[in-house]
Amino acid sequence: MTAPNLEVELCGIKFRNPILTASGTFGYGEEFNNYIDLSCLGGIVTKSITREPRPGHPPPRTYETTGGMINAIGLANVGVDRFVSEKIPFLKTLDTRIIVNVAGFSIEEYRYCVERLNDAEAIDMLEINISCPNVGAGGLEFSSTEKGAFAITSELKKISRYPLMIKLSPNVTDISAIARAAEEGGADCLSLINTLVGMGVNHWTFKPILTNITGGLSGPAIKPVALAKVWQVHNAVKIPLVGIGGALDHFDVAEFMIVGASLVQFGTANFINPDCTVKASEGLVDYLDKSGIDDISQLIGKLGGNNEVQGKNFPACEGT
Amino acid sequence: MAVLQDKSGASPGSQGARMIFNPPVELVEKEMLLPDLCRLKLHAPLIAKRALPGNFVQIKVSDSLDPVFRRPMSIHNCEDETFEMVFRVIGRGTQLLAEALPGRKFDCLGPLGNTFEIPETDETAVMIAGGVGLPPLYFLSRFLIERHRIEPSRVLFLLGIRDKTELIVGADAEKLGVEMKYSTDDGTHGFHGFVTALFEDIYARRLRNSKMRVYSCGPTPMMQALSRIALSFKLPCQLSLEGAMPCGVGTCLGCAVKLRAKDEYLRVCQEGPVFNAEEIEL
């Protein structure tokens, strides 16, 4: 019996498997290099890069909460120029796909970064972060209105030599409308969801836990929200989707794919178990074998109705 | 200034030489030193072989997602194939650790982080610990005495505790034969007041003209006060910091500490946990 095919094609790019690391949870790849075999990943999404270096918010920046965490790191990063000179050389040595996450506070800033990255090597795709909840102004307007999402996407599409993945926020009234606007603007694919706005309060001191007061909630607590958003957007657009939000293992990958994602990013899980992505890719082989599926792409968007059973060979009680 | 070296001669604190081990570690001994003070001995040959004073581990206290993240724990001691942690039970994570029984296995990353510098041959090593900030300083003292052949008399150990019922916290350090001084918040043993005030008192009376190197670990207000003292006396001073540390390996950027000189942050887990007092702003 041959091993099931884990390879997934997205925007003309072949990914070894559907597992990516989410921006902000994997540094620039180097931090995990002594720990896991990075070539086991479908790809790495790097920490958000802005035009200028950013120190980030004063601590405390993170707060552990039930089933997840709230963070307000504040887009701390080395800036695009140092990213190209200091981080790209390492990324070039890796045998996996590299997706660079770009953030900004104006179209001009995004444009500067994209043009600078156009000259770099080793990059397969850009993820445009228009949805960071932890910065005071700028970026969010692009994900909170259809006009903004269309504008940033169409502007960057004109100049990027890479396919564009637009990262959407769940903190909007109608994510499907924003997704359609990005699609009309020329997005090659969409990733969703970014973190949900949350906060923590110290009931003894009456003070907020985070210096920034609010932050982004991530981790397994948000997986049901993320699944719902991916499913809604899958029904609203034709371009491929990348699911993000609380994935911990191979079953979560399968669930995101079933509701419409082609790839799945692992975020907070990297903090819990640094080898979660490698274990998930191994687990997918076993899952597909047990399911009688020989190609993982067969999962994408195959959500059944209440009375249908799409999968095969499912264990009678597993997952209940 | 030299950094410490492990038994293989490597210095894991230096960038590029870092190794992270992830073996299951087994609890072999547990002792409740006080109702809320726990000592665990864990069988972990790789960690015990590589760990240096200042290093820490990230231990997963639960097989479930409650709590979600590992807990950073400083290393109190290493012997043969085991290492020890001494900690106060303050929350869900430490409670679960303290409830564990021998035989229980934990997923554990380590050793992580950098290490302390060793003192010059003419320097007195002054350890200033606040309560359960003691473990990294006990490990350092023992390491200096046993591996660097530093006379115990060259180590002055100051320990601040709440009251005399917590004297057990300093029991291991007492056995090293170092000069041991206590301060208590309520004056029931030793110096009445904060351990930083005890240090100022001893400094004024007898250390003013001595060469010394100060090492500290404890609550943030204590280390803020000590930083001010060290800077004003121009003393070399290293602080071992704690931090909200979801990942422990340098990627989440949660455990940030601000540089004194510029608007930049370092990571406690990666560039620390040991920092020179003059470089950071607490």
Task: Give the tens place of pLDDT for each residue, B47-58.
Answer: 999 999 999 999
Helix (H) / strand (E) containing A196: strand A196-199
Q: What does the pLDDT read at residue A310? A: 72
Q: Which residues of B36-64 are buried (b: 16+ CB within 10 A; e: fewer)?
A: ebbbbbbbbebbbbbbbbbbbbbbbbbee
Does A313 score more than 70 pLDDT? no
* B59 → chain A, closest CA residue: A272
Does B12 score more than 50 pLDDT? no
User: Could you tell me which residues come within 8 angstroms of residue A117 by beta carbon, excluding any fewer than 6 positions away?
Assistant: A49, A80, A84, A100, A102, A123, A126, A162
A65/B95 Cα distance (integer angstroms): 17
**Least trusted range by pLDDT, from A60-64, A68-72, B9-13, B271-275:** B9-13
* 3-state SS class at B123: coil
Q: What is the mean pLDDT of chain A?
A: 93
| Confidence label for B39 from pLDDT (cuts 50, 70 and 90) | very high
Q: Which residue has the higher pLDDT, B40 or A32?
A: B40
Cis peptide before B67 (omega within 30 of 0): yes
B277/B198 Cα distance (integer angstroms): 19
Q: What does the pLDDT read at residue A317? A: 52
Q: What does the pLDDT read at residue B15? A: 36
Catalytic residues of A: 132
Mean of the pLDDT values across residues A239-257?
98
DSSP for B73-89, written as a single string: EE--EEETTEEEEEEE-
**Least trusted range by pLDDT, from A124-138, A249-263, B34-48, B68-82:** A124-138
| Confidence label for A144 from pLDDT (cuts 50, 70 and 90) | confident
Q: What does the pLDDT read at residue A311? A: 72
A62-113 pLDDT, tens digit per residue, is: 999 999 999 999 999 999 999 999 999 999 999 999 999 999 988 999 999 9
A266/A277 Cα distance (integer angstroms): 7
Query: Does A25 contact B19 at a Cβ distance shorter than 8 Å?
Result: no
Please state, for a pLDDT cut of 90, what percent of chain A lies above it. 85
* A21 → chain B, closest CA residue: B251
Q: Contact, A77 vs A50, CB < 8 A?
A: yes
User: B79 and chain A: CB distance < 8 Å anywhere?
Assistant: no
**Overall size of chain A counted in residues:** 320
Q: Contact, A67 vs A220, CB < 8 A?
A: yes
Cis peptide before B45 (omega within 30 of 0): no
* Full-model pTM: 0.93
Pairing type for strands B155-161 and B124-130 reads parallel
B227/B211 Cα distance (integer angstroms): 17
Q: Which residue has the higher pLDDT, B15 or B22?
A: B22
Residues of A with CB under 8 A from a CB of B: 24-27, 31-32, 34-35, 55-56, 58-69, 71, 73, 76, 219-220, 268, 270-275
* Both tokens assigned to A256: 């995101």
> Token match 């996407």: residue?
A153
> Token match 């929350």: residue?
B91
Does B14 score more than 60 pLDDT? no
B133/B131 Cα distance (integer angstroms): 5
Beta bridge pairs of residue B180: B157
Q: What does the pLDDT read at residue A134? A: 58
Q: How far is CA B272 from CA A36, A152, B133, B257, B275, in A?
A: 22, 39, 15, 9, 6
Please state, for a pLDDT cut of 90, what percent of chain B lies above it. 88
Q: Contact, B114 vs B75, CB < 8 A?
A: no
A17/A250 Cα distance (integer angstroms): 11
Nearest to A67 among B68, B249, B265 (CB): B68
User: Could you tell me which residues come within 8 angstroms of residue B242 by beta carbon, excluding any fewer than 6 positions away?
Assistant: B72, B220, B268, B273
> Token match 């902000």: residue?
A24
Pairing type for strands A214-218 and A196-199 reads antiparallel
Nearest to B253 among A68, A69, A73 (CB): A73
Q: What is the mean pLDDT of chain B?
A: 92
Q: What does the pLDDT read at residue B8? A: 43
* Both tokens assigned to A221: 């607590």
Does A140 score more than 70 pLDDT? no
B218/B198 Cα distance (integer angstroms): 15
Helix (H) / strand (E) containing A270: helix A269-272
Please state, for a pLDDT cut of 70, what percent of chain B lies above it. 92
Does B11 score more than 80 pLDDT? no
**Least trusted range by pLDDT, from A73-77, A143-147, A251-255, A289-293:** A143-147
B172-194 pLDDT, tens digit per residue, is: 999 999 999 999 999 999 999 99
Pairing type for strands A164-167 and A125-129 reads parallel
CB < 8 Å & 24+ apart, contacts of A104-111: A104/A50, A104/A51, A104/A138, A104/A139, A105/A50, A105/A135, A105/A137, A105/A138, A105/A139, A106/A138, A107/A151, A107/A152, A107/A155, A109/A50, A109/A51, A109/A138, A110/A152, A110/A155, A110/A156, A111/A155, A111/A156, A111/A159
A211-233 pLDDT, tens digit per residue, is: 999 999 999 999 999 999 999 99
Mean of the pLDDT values across residues A257-281?
97
A148-207 pLDDT, tens digit per residue, is: 999 999 999 999 999 999 999 999 999 999 999 999 999 999 999 999 999 999 999 999
| Confidence label for A2 from pLDDT (cuts 50, 70 and 90) | confident
Does A8 score more than 90 pLDDT? yes
Q: What does the pLDDT read at residue B154? A: 95
Q: What does the pLDDT read at residue A314? A: 63
Q: Which residue has the higher pLDDT, A238 or B17?
A: A238
Q: Contact, A134 vs A169, CB < 8 A?
A: no
Query: Does B246 contact A274 at a Cβ distance shorter than 8 Å?
Result: no
A26/A45 Cα distance (integer angstroms): 8
Q: Which residue has the higher pLDDT, B8 or B206?
A: B206
Q: What does the pLDDT read at residue A300? A: 97
Mean of the pLDDT values across residues A245-266?
98
Query: Does A58 contact B258 at a Cβ distance shorter than 8 Å?
Result: yes
Does B7 score more than 50 pLDDT? no
Q: What does the pLDDT read at residue B23? A: 75
